A and B are shown apart, each in its own frame.
Chain A
Amino acid sequence: MMKFQTKASVFIVSLLFTSSIAAATSLTPNDSTKVKRGGDASFSVWANQSGNVLSTGFISSLAHGGFIGHDILDPVLEAHEGGMGFFGGSVGWESKWAAKPFKGGKWALCGSMGSEILYDSRWTSDMFELIFYGNGGHTGRVDVLSGTGMRMAEFNRFGLGFENTKTRQRLEVSLVQRLVGAEWSIPYGYFSVSENADSLDTYLQTEARLHALDGQSSVNLPFGFLPAYGIGLSGSLPLASETLPIRFEINFSDFGILFEPQGSSVAWFQEGIATTGLPVLGDSLTWESIIEGDISTDSLLLTGSSVKRMTLLPYRLSADFVYEPSPDVMIELRVETGGWMPKPLFTAGVGWTTFDRLAFGVQAKYGGWGKMRPVVWAEFKVSCRRMLVVELEDPMGFFIGNESSDFTYNRGVTIRLERLAGDGWASKGGRFKSTCKR
């Protein structure tokens, strides 16, 4: 029997869907004569989170508190694919636009702007096991800590460039600002207790950076901003067949370098413990020898401010392939990398144009931070030149706290409002084109 929350959630989704259909069927085409011809534009907001290990059920358990036993932890530990766990995502908005072509020609001024918070964390299964299980169950094994880390940053970007109104090829130069950021990592580390627990061997290198200034800022934040700026290239390269119902599109953004100013707070810690010439008859490293100073430690703690440095911008690169076997059906494949994702993100999906103004589809996504998950989307043509796109990634993942979402690992929503162009856009194809009359 469904719980109250489940019923309420299903009700709300049904309500939204029903209201959308009702609105779509009740709309009539606008008078196109009232619409000025211009370029295209879009505005998107999104928020998503993906992971391959931390199920919604586990996160819910952490949120609710209480005792978490092995029945909860075991599936999480087993979910570590390749010995690594990932958790990340982004929240942001973006506006893209293109002006009218210059003097009726084929080139138009285009631009984009937006903000995005990126977050990314990763850890080894050994690290997870040490924290939640302890070392008792796997003595005699070297626990690898290398590769564990997390980072987060807020990026603002503004791009300006040109777009070919016929081919829709687009190239922008982006100015990217990292307003604030933080990162922590263990480049190298391990922990080992011998099988009979008669020796201990550890090594840890860790580094933390806070890209902000110490002290309170003028806006009552506990830190001051230390923005970094970078320059990158963004653009898209759509290719459409004039004879076949297929198209191919490459998109890229923020291929460039971020120039970090000096002044970030940096802490660097290294601790190495190794035995030193103890008798071979059995003495080895123990807490006692550490406390009594019988061993040599290679310990180093550095704190201070960073110097200037250059790092890569969080670029994104994607390739899309769309096949439309009939005017109502669309099949799409997509691969995307970058954006701090630890693995490439693969997408395959199918869409239908069920009504004149409404299309919807389903997708399967695999990679990025997460496992295989479903995506549903709907495109609603609000007017002859405006379209609303809503995309839900792993919709069941939104019902946090509900049993039905316990085995989901992701959740995300994207809402995009597009203004469709008129002439010249047919080369892109697609489900909707401007139907405004000239």
Chain B
Amino acid sequence: MSGKIKIAFISIILLTALYSCDDRETLSWESEIFLPLVDDNVTWSSFVPDSLLVLGEGGEPARLVYKGPFEAFNAEDIPVLPDTTLLNTFSMGNLLTVEIPAPVDYPFMEVDNEMQITNLSENSGMYLRELILSGGTMVFSVESTVDGILHLSYALTSMTINGEVVEIEFNVPPAVGGVNGMSTVNIDLTGAVFDMTGEDGSSHNIITSSFAAMNSPLNEEVFFISNLDSLSVKLEMQDMRIEKAKGYFGDVELDFGTEVTLIDTVPVPNPILDLEGAVAKLRIENTIGADLRLNFDTLLVDGQSVIHPTLYGAHDIPRAQWIDGNLVDFTTLEIDLGESGSNIFDLMENFPEKFRMAGSSQVNPYGDISFGNDYADADYIPELELEIEIPFRMGLDGVVLEEIYTLDPMEFPQFDGRLLIDLTSTFPVEVIADVDYVVNDTIGTVVAVNTQLEAGSSFPEMPSHALLIIPLNQAIVEPGGNVYVSLTVRTDGAQTFTGYENIRVQVRIEGTQLIEVE
């Protein structure tokens, strides 16, 4: 290598070293950020459940509409078939005088039996003629004293499932050493149809059965039957749920006491309702084939009694007409709670929250006038409905929103910017907005700003807008904090609200930060 080249090579190394030995500063640059932090909407949904609010179109007032059941009746109130146990013991004593070998080819015992259900109702006179179950279980148990295996055939001849009589065939083990042979079978009663009129067709509460016992082919030896032998058959029907029933449902009286909540969120501040055009009704549809009598004892609006000229007392509602399981006609009772002489609208002026009602209902107040032709279908339970309709014309005065928005600590080094709070309102009233940003620093720095939004309009849509600006720097933004927003409205008299009104609160951060890389 020539001297010149060596010099050049060394020079390059030295130059490189010169550069690499520089004291390097921290690399930094500014980054401009613009990020949404909060976007919230205050609408009528904040106060009124959506299911109750019917928005007003074309500038018409929205309406608060409640149309829901007072739970005065339910499926449990229609005729109930209690858990029932039917027990029969079949003894050979009267048929055999001597011990005989059990025949192989034909039954040695055949019994047709009628069992009476006696526990339907106490003193109400209730009886059933037809029954369709939507669920339930029948446990069939047989206990035998016979020395051999028995093959049994048992059928509830008054019951069909899918149009066919259910017949059970099974074996009962022999009695051994003084211990009776036992066997149990479970049957699902879903969809079971009972004809409870007995063999003569004019009785009620009757379940008929057929029973046959014969020698089982499983026996390897001949066994004998004596006059001391017996078979005990136990029928347990459990958890039966009635789908349809026909008969006489008895003279039954049921008490009810129930409550409905119209508004369960934040109450509207000091509302004064203009109740012109308001509606308050009670309605009941009797959809069962039995007469009903309703007695209202109490109706309270937010704990205050409603005075009404016709509500309290007995209201008879004739039975519905059912033909071949089809509802042909039903009767409706409607009571106008706002009729002349009622004070209910006075009680509703301050935006009602709760309605409470108590009373009783009586089934078949005139006795068995249908001669066993009462009819009930679990899908058609009578409903007592409360119908309330309140137009949104009201005066307001107070805080409609107090919300805290939490800003988590954010890493914005050397931040220089601002917090922008946009308020957009279509409420047709003035809105006073107070915003406090409380910093999560050691001294709890508070930055407070406020503004007043002019009245806006939801129809036609003409929102009013206000912008609040809070200057921010790293010390304020990095620890995070809470933004307390309070919105106050005050109307001059009753205003019409369409339900489309909203106040939108948007919080954004805008500014530059310095990013540093070591």
Contact = CB atoms under 8 A, between A and B. Distances in A.
Interface of A: 5, 8-9, 11-12, 15-16, 18-19, 23, 62-69, 73, 131-137, 139, 193-194, 196-200, 279, 281-289, 291, 400-401
A197 B35 CA distance: 6
Contacts of A286: 36-39, 507
Interface in B7-25: 7-8, 11-12, 15, 18-19, 22, 24-25
B28 to A, nearest CB: 5
Interface in B463-518: 500, 502, 504, 506-508, 510-513
B1 to A, nearest CB: 10
B28 A67 contact: yes
A133 B30 CA distance: 7
11 contacts: A5-B15, A12-B11, A23-B2, A64-B25, A135-B35, A136-B512, A197-B35, A279-B45, A281-B43, A282-B424, A288-B40
Contacts of A283: 39-41
10 closest A-B pairs by beta carbon, nearest first, are A136-B32, A65-B25, A134-B31, A134-B32, A136-B34, A66-B25, A286-B36, A197-B508, A65-B24, A288-B38
B28 A66 contact: yes
Contact of A193 (B28, B35, B38, B406): B35
Given A136-B510, A287-B36, 8 more contacts: A64-B24, A132-B29, A136-B33, A200-B35, A282-B502, A283-B41, A288-B507, A400-B19
B4 A19 contact: yes
Contacts of A68: 27-29
A193 to B, nearest CB: 6
B4 A15 contact: yes
A121 to B, nearest CB: 17
Contacts of B30: 69, 134
Interface string B127-156: 000000000000000000000000000000
B417 to A, nearest CB: 9
Contacts of A136: 31-34, 510-512
B170 interface: no
Contacts of A194: 36
A8 B11 contact: yes
A64 B38 contact: no
Contacts of A15: 4, 7-8
B502 A281 contact: yes
Contacts of A400: 19
A282 B4 contact: no
Given A12-B11, A16-B5, A19-B4, A198 B508 contact: yes
B405 interface: yes
B8 to A, nearest CB: 5
Nearest to A20: B5
B35 A9 contact: no
Nearest to B37: A287
B33 A135 contact: yes
A287 B504 CA distance: 16
A301 B103 CA distance: 77
A400 B18 CA distance: 12
B26 interface: yes
Contacts of B32: 133-137
B39 A289 contact: yes
Given A5-B15, A65-B25, A132 B36 contact: no
B408 interface: yes
A139 B33 CA distance: 9
- Residue from A5, A73, A197 with most neighbouring chain B CB atoms (10 Å): A197
Given A133-B32, A401-B19, A65 B27 contact: yes
Contacts of A63: 24
B5 A19 contact: yes
A392 B32 CA distance: 41
B55 to A, nearest CB: 11
Interface residues of B, number: 47
Contacts of A196: 422, 506, 508
A200 B18 CA distance: 48
B2 A197 contact: no
A73 B39 contact: no
A281 B39 contact: no
B38 to A, nearest CB: 4
A139 B15 contact: no
Contacts of A11: 11
- Residue from B18, B29, B38, B507 with most neighbouring chain A CB atoms (10 Å): B29
A193 B32 CA distance: 13
A383 B12 CA distance: 28
Contacts of B4: 15, 18-19
- Residue from B11, B502, B506 with most neighbouring chain A CB atoms (10 Å): B506
B90 to A, nearest CB: 67
A288 B405 contact: yes
- Residue from A8, A16, A62, A136 with most neighbouring chain B CB atoms (10 Å): A136
Nearest to A291: B408
A142 to B, nearest CB: 15
A193 B5 contact: no
B212 to A, nearest CB: 65
A413 to B, nearest CB: 12
Nearest to B1: A19
Nearest to A194: B36
A120 B43 CA distance: 54
B45 A197 contact: no
Nearest to A130: B31
A196 B33 CA distance: 12
Contact of A288 (B11, B39, B43, B502): B39
A26 B502 CA distance: 93
A233 B36 CA distance: 56
A35 to B, nearest CB: 24
A9 to B, nearest CB: 7
- Residue from B28, B45, B500 with most neighbouring chain A CB atoms (10 Å): B28
A136 B30 CA distance: 11
- Residue from B35, B508, B510 with most neighbouring chain A CB atoms (10 Å): B35
B34 A284 contact: no
Given A16-B8, A64-B22, A401-B19, A281 B36 contact: no
B27 A12 contact: no
A105 B25 CA distance: 66
Contacts of B34: 134-136, 139, 193, 197
Contacts of B35: 135, 193, 197, 200, 287
Contacts of B27: 62, 65-66, 68
A66 B24 CA distance: 8
A279 B43 contact: yes
A9 B14 CA distance: 11
Given A19-B4, A19-B5, A66-B27, A282 B45 contact: no
B39 to A, nearest CB: 5
Nearest to B4: A19
Contacts of B33: 134-136
A16 B30 CA distance: 44
A65 to B, nearest CB: 4
Contact of B26 (A8, A65, A279, A284): A65
A245 B172 CA distance: 113
A290 to B, nearest CB: 10
Contacts of A66: 25-28
